[in-house]
A and B are shown apart, each in its own frame.
Chain A
Amino acid sequence: MNMRFHRGVISTRIIIGLAAVLVVLLPVVAGRSLLAQEKPKRTEDAHAKERQLRVPPLAAGRDKAALAEEAATAQSQADSQPAMDVSQIDCRACHECDNPTREDPCLRMCPRAMAEALAGAAPEQLPDDVILLNAFEWQARRFMPVPFTHKLHADMAEMTGGCEVCHHHTAPGGLYPPCQTCHKPVFLKSAGEEMRVPNLKGAYHRQCMGCHRDWSHSTKCSICHLPKGDQTEPTSVESLPARGDVAGHPPIENPEHILRHTTEHESGPYVLFRHQEHIKLYGYDCAQCHRGQTCARCHESAKERRLPTARPSRLEQHGICFPCHEDDKCERCHSKSKLPAPQRFDHATTGFALGKYHGSLTCRTCHKRLYFIRKLQGECAFCHTGWGPDTFNHAVTGQILDDNHVETDCEECHIDRKFDAPPTCDECHDEDEGIAFPRKRPGPVMKAEPAAKP
C-alpha cells in the first residue's frame, strides 16, 4: 500500500518535473544562443583567459536510484541540460537546517512551485550531484575535468564539521558565494592581500587534500585527475571515462549474524538475521539493503552526534525485507526465544530442489534480473544454450525418452523453449488421443529423482 502511494507520487512528479524542465530550458537555451553570438567577437588571446574564467559547468542532479525512470523519459533532453550556477541557489530555499544530510535532509514542506521559484530550477536539477571542476588552463591541458560529487561530499562533511568546512568564511546555510569570488582561477604575481588568499587551484587542493589525505592516506593525483591523453574534452559527467583508482571505501567486514531484539512484537521478540547468507548466497550488495545510509552512520566523529536520534520506524525496518519476504508470515523471522533459529532457506520449497550442480551456484547466478529474487522466467537458457536432441541427455531430468521421442526437437514439447513450463503434447498428439502430460509420459521415469523440471 505504501509502495503504491509512492509510485503515485513519482508519476505526478514526472509530469510536473517535465513541465518544469521545459520552463527552465527555454530561458537558458535563449541565453546560450546569445552567448554563442558574442563568442566570435573575442580575440584569440582572450580565448585562453575565457577558458580559465569559465564557470564550472554543473551537471544537473540525477539520483540514479530514485529517478531512474524519470531519467529515461528525459533522456532526449539530457544533452541540453542547463548549466546552472550553484552559487545562485540559496540552500535555505529547500533545506530548513544549516547542514542537511542524506539521512536528514530537513526539506521544507512547501509547494513545489514555490521551491522552483526560489531555486530557479526544478528540484531534481538542484546541486545534489556532480560538478565538473575545470577552471585552469594548465589543468585542462593535462587532465580531464574533475567530477566532484557534491551530495556525497556533503554527506561526508558531516564527519568533519558540516558545510562550512568547505564553504568557509560564510555563515552556514543561505546563499554561498562561489569560490571564485575570492579565489582567483589565474596565477597572478602576488602582493599584498592576494598573498593571503590562495588562488582557486590552491584553495581546491587544500580543501580536498585535507580530508583525502587524512582518510585515504594517499596523495595520488589520479584519484581525482584523469590524465587527458588524446581524448577530447568531455562535456558532461557521463562522457567522462571511468577513473581507475577512485578512492573507494576500504572493505567493510561482514557481520556473521545479527540478532535483533524487538519488544513490540510480543509473539516473537527475537529476530535472527543471516547476514552472511544474504551477502554471499543471495548476492546482495551492501547498498541494496543499507540504502540511503551515510558515512556518518559508521564514522566515529558523527556517531556521537547521531546517537540520540530515534530508531528507524517499524515500517522502515520491515521495508528492507519486504520485497523478498512479503508473502512470509511473521514467524518466519520472529521467534519467541533466541533458539531455535529460523530455518535456512530450502530451495526445494519452491518446487525446484537444487541438485549437485545447481547447489553450488549462488542465487544471483540464475536470479540475476532483479534486486529481489523472484521466480525464473526462462533464464535457464542463459546458461543452457545450444541444447538439442543430440546434445542433451534428457535422462538427467529423470524423464527418460523412449525411442519415439528421443529425436524429437525440444520445441515440439517445450513451446518457445520455456523449459520451466510443463511440456505439451498437443503439437503432435490430438486431444482425443488422451495423451497429455503428465498423465501419459514419453517414456519411463526414473524413480529416485523427484519431479524435476528440465
Chain B
Amino acid sequence: MSLNRREFIKAAGLAGIGGSACLLGERAQASEARSPSPDAMGVLVDIPKCIGCRRCEYACQEAAGFDPPPIETFEDKSVFEQARRPQPRSHTVINRYANPQDQANPVYNKFNCMHCVDPACVSACLVSALSKQEDGPVVYDVSRCMGCRYCLVACPFEIPTYDYDMPLKPQVRKCNLCAHLVPEVQDVPACVKICPQEVLTYGKRSELLELAHEKIVTAPDVYIDHVYGEHEAGGASWLYLSSVPFDQVGFKHFDHKAPPRLTEKIQHAEFKYFLPPLMWFGLLGAAMWLTKPESGGTSHE
C-alpha cells in the first residue's frame, strides 16, 4: 500500500521530468497565433483575364519534374467538358465555367494549393511532413510522411492528392509554389512565369491584397467586391479576383476562421504543458488510494 503511494509520487516526478512535456508545450505554443507573415509571398489570380490556354498546367508539370506531353496537347479544349481536380501528376488545373455576362467568352479558374496562412494540412500532419514556410509556401517532406492521408482529409480546398497506385513509395502531391526550385533558377513559380496573359501576379501577399483592392476600386464594373483567399479558411497566399460570383467558378464558401484554430485549442486544452494528463493521473491515483478497502490488497498481489 505504501509502495503504491511511493510509486505514485515517483511516477509523477518521472512524468514531470517530461523534457518531452516542455518540448510539446513549446511547440504547441509557437503555433498558436497565426497571422500572415509580412514576408509571405503569394499569387494574385485575375480570373477575368484567363483565356484557358492551360500553359500553366504544362509549366507546372515540367517544373514538378514530370515529363509533360508536348505543349501542343495542352491546347485540347475538350478537357473542359467536365470540371477537373488536381491530380498526382498535375498539381494545377484550369476549369471552364459559363460566363453569365458574356456567353461567348467563358471564364476560367485555376485550382491549386492555396498555401493557406494557417493551413489545415500542416496542423493535421502528425509527423510534421507538411510545413508552412515563412515566405509563404506550404511544403512537403516525403522523408517524414507515413502516408496516412489526413492532410487530404483536412484540406478545406481538397487540394492534396495521393499516389494510390504506388505500392512502395507513394507520396502526397500538391503544388509547393515551386519552393523546390532554387531562387536563382526560378525567381517566380513556373505557372506565373509562363502565363501569357499575366493572369497571375507573384508578390508579397500584403502588396497583392493592396493591389487586388485597388483593382476592384478602379474597375468596379469588372470585378465583384470580394478577394477570394483574403479571409477564406483563415486566409491564403493565393488570392483571386473574379467578375462573376466565386461560387459560379468552382469555389466554396468558408468561414473566416481557420479550421485548425478550433482543433488546436481543444488539443491544447487537453494537453497544455502536459498538465491535464498529469492532473488526471493524480486524480485517479488519489481515487485509487482513497477507495482502497482496508482489508485485502490488489488482485495482483
Q: Which residues of A contact B (CB under 8 A)?
A: 138, 142, 187-192, 195-196, 198-199, 201-203, 205-206, 209, 213-214, 217, 219-222, 227
Are the CB atoms of B207 and A192 closer together than 8 Å? Answer: yes
Q: Closest chain A residue to B104 by CB distance?
A: A217
Given contacts A188-B187, A205-B196, A214-B104, 12 further A-B contacts (CB under 8 A): A138-B193, A189-B187, A191-B204, A196-B211, A203-B198, A209-B51, A213-B105, A219-B51, A219-B53, A221-B53, A222-B72, A222-B75
Complex CA–CA separation, A265 to B204 (angstroms): 74
* B52, CB-defined interface residue at 8 Å: yes
Given A217-B104, A219-B53, A227-B72, does the pair A190, B202 have CB atoms closer than 8 Å?
yes
State whether the Cβ of B49 lies closer than 8 Å to any Cβ in chain A: yes
User: Does B37 count as interface, using CB distance less than 8 angstroms?
Assistant: no
- Is B208 close to A, CB under 8 A? yes
In Å, the complex CA distance between A201 and B104 comes to 25
User: Closest chain B residue to A200 by CB distance?
Assistant: B198
CB nearest to A188 among chain B residues: B187
Those 6 A-B pairs whose CB atoms lie nearest each other, nearest first: A202-B198, A205-B196, A219-B51, A198-B198, A189-B187, A205-B197
Q: Does B71 contact A (CB under 8 A)?
A: yes
Interface residues of B in 234-287 (CB under 8 A from A): none
A sample of 9 cross-chain residue pairs with beta-carbon separation below 8 angstroms, ordered by A number, consists of A142-B71, A188-B187, A189-B187, A189-B188, A190-B201, A201-B196, A205-B198, A213-B51, A219-B53
Residue of A nearest to B198 (CB): A202
Residues of B contacting A221 in the complex (Cβ-Cβ under 8 angstroms): 53, 75, 196
Instruction: Tell me whether B203 is interfacial, beta carbon within 8 Å.
Output: yes
Once the chains bind, are B105 and A191 in contact (CB under 8 Å)?
no
Contacts of A189 in B (CB 8 A): 187-188, 202-203
State how many residues of chain B have any CB contact under 8 Å with chain A.
Answer: 25
CB of B49 within 8 A of CB of A206, answer yes
- Known contacts A205-B196, A219-B51, A214 near B187 by CB under 8 Å: no
Nearest CB of chain B from residue A207's CB, rounded to whole Å: 10
Chain A residues lying within 8 Å of B71, measured Cβ to Cβ, are 142
Which chain B residue has the least Cβ–Cβ distance from A202? Answer: B198
| A196 proximity list for chain B (CB < 8 A) | 211, 214
A227 contacts across to B, CB distance below 8 A? 72
- Residues of chain A contacted by B208 (CB below 8 angstroms): 195
Select B196's contact among A190, A191, A202, A214, beta carbons within 8 Å: A202
Contact with A along B180-220 (1 / 0, CB 8 A): 00000001100001111110011110011001001000000
Q: A189-B188, A190-B201 are in contact. Are A195 and B104 (CB under 8 A)?
A: no
How many angstroms between the C-alpha atoms of A222 and B75 in the bound complex? 10
Chain B residues within an 8 Å CB radius of A206: 49, 197-198
CB-CB under 8 A from A199, the residues of chain B are: 198
**Minimal beta-carbon separation of A205 from chain B (angstroms):** 4
Q: Which residues of A are found within 8 Å of B187, using beta-carbon distances?
A: 187-189
- In whole angstroms, what is the CA distance A106 to B20 when docked? 85
C-alpha gap A220/B201 in the complex (Å):
23
Q: How far is the CB of A36 from chain B (nearest CB, A)?
A: 32
Q: Chain B nearest CB: distance from A224 CB in Å?
A: 10
Interface residues of B in 66-80 (CB under 8 A from A): 71-72, 75
Closest residue of chain B to A206, judged by CB? Answer: B197
**Alpha-carbon gap, A195 to B49, bound state (A):** 15
Given contacts A199-B198, A205-B196, contact A214 B105 (CB under 8 A): yes
Known: A209-B51, A217-B104. A191 touches B207 (CB 8 A): yes
Min CB distance A367 to B, Å, is 43
A201 to B203, CA, bound (A): 18
Verify A195–B207 contact, CB threshold 8 A. yes
The answer to whether B52 and A219 touch across the interface, beta carbons within 8 angstroms, is yes
Tell me the B120-159 residues at the A interface (CB within 8 Å).
none
Distance in Å from the Cβ of A10 to the closest Cβ of chain B?
43
Q: In whole Å, how far is A18's beta carbon from the nearest beta carbon of chain B?
A: 42
Instruction: Name the B residues within 8 Å of A142 (CB-CB).
Output: 71
Q: How far is the CA of A196 from the CA of B207 in the complex (A)?
A: 10
Query: What's the Cα separation between A227 and B104 when bound, in Å?
Result: 28
Q: How far is the CA of A195 from the CA of B192 in the complex (A)?
A: 12
CB distance from B156 to the nearest CB of A (A): 28
